[in-house]
Structure 1
């Protein structure tokens, strides 16, 4: 089953519905206003059922997500909103969003069927950061990485489309982002720091020396200004990265930009 074909079919159905609406109205020599109003409402309801998921104030209600697409009982949509409140235009803004596709494992989400579209049905490339599967192999939840353009002080609506067909393979979007590594340190537990860029360059937390008196522990999870963070002892705690990133240490081989946010524990002079 071709996911792109299903979406295209839905758009085609909308077009046909509109054609029938106009044909029906013009074929009547003396159409009544009431009949035209009722027909217009039916066409609008059909379009709303296929394309949209109600008003924004209803999108976050648990009982409507994920929502079935009206004419395909095994296809679903989850709407998400991406907003800017900074007053700046955001170009290729990286987004890492956790989506619960099937909390109760009803086998409605096959990971190969997932697609993301904007308001104009433009497909948005994405990568999986992390996936949690049901015992049956269907997807329960996942973190998706993608990039969007958002105008200053505006909100963009995206639709995440998925299906339950096991015959659909994941789509390869290639290298659509220049982001190589994104460690958010939001896990809060364990010894893995996930790479939210979708490139699988996950980090591992270490304590280099188990013989000193620093507590013999790797970096500790703490509350950050936003989400979680890591607390390093300043002696021998570190996060290791895959060897595939070794070129990052030599800017003459592969020039990169590195951005780090941290809060020092003390302002005392190192002297």
Structure 2
């Protein structure tokens, strides 16, 4: 079955915005913090967003299975067309707890191991990033609850020789391997940020590169990966291979680099 990705993108954007509303309802009040088996934090906002997204995606007529961070056990694998939804209902829970606004809703459509559609909503910042194969990549900023027009985005391109690289870094997950990598890169300025926003800033041309030399899961990157690719960038392993989502049972990504240019 051939999908209309443009139409699907609009529907998934709506679902992600509704999940963002559910997150902000918790953000506005006191909330408790639990600890999952992997020692990562969990709040009522994670689960509220999860429920909204699961209901929304399951209501779509395509019947594509869903892999959500908050319900891994219910996922039986991709469908016969190699498709599945890859969801992080609240990416950047640590940032949510810190109340710094740097958290997102991530929804990606994976097809044969590749992210072909992605929606990233940062509800506290009033911004969304979305993209689909054959459509384009966009940024949407809104105020007072009213969604603005989509603005097409593109990566900045490779910095010229001798220029200072604008590097995105993790705010909550420092990496001991990063210093050596940055020394090889050359002159640079580092900007720390939480969640998948780091990839999105590369996609819109506000940063040149994001090296992630530390653990991440598939749902942390899938949606923003789609945005980067449709904006003209790359998300690659350290060996130069495209980051792949064909084996969701493995859950963990290898180390990777997000490049704001196509070569």
- State the TM bucket, normalised to the shorter chain: under 0.3
Which protein has the bigger helix share? 2
State the structure with bigger RCO (CA 8 A, min sep 6), 1 or 2: 2
> What TM-score results when the alignment is normalised by the length of structure 2?
0.27
- Report the TM-score when normalising by structure 1: 0.27
